[in-house]
Amino acid sequence: MTSKVSTTNNNIIINGSPLESESSRLGSGFVYDTSGRIITNNHVVDGSDKVDVR
């Protein structure tokens, strides 16, 4: 038995210094399961200090 999880895309806002300077980036991802885990590409969050999902 499986349950359906919403396939809504989310904006992922990344703040950090991945390239040795302060920066903000925008990426995308989706909700993986009902506990709220998000799947995105590693390069979207690599080196970040903070990740916000909206």
| Predicted pLDDT of residue 32 | 86
Chain centre distance of CA 16: 13
In the DSSP assignment, the letter for residue 9 is: E
For 1-54, the pLDDT digits (tens) are 445 555 555 666 666 655 556 667 778 888 888 888 888 888 888 877 777 777
Q: Are strands 48-53 and 38-39 parallel, antiparallel or unpaired?
A: unpaired
Q: Cβ atoms within 10 A of the Cβ of 14, count?
A: 20
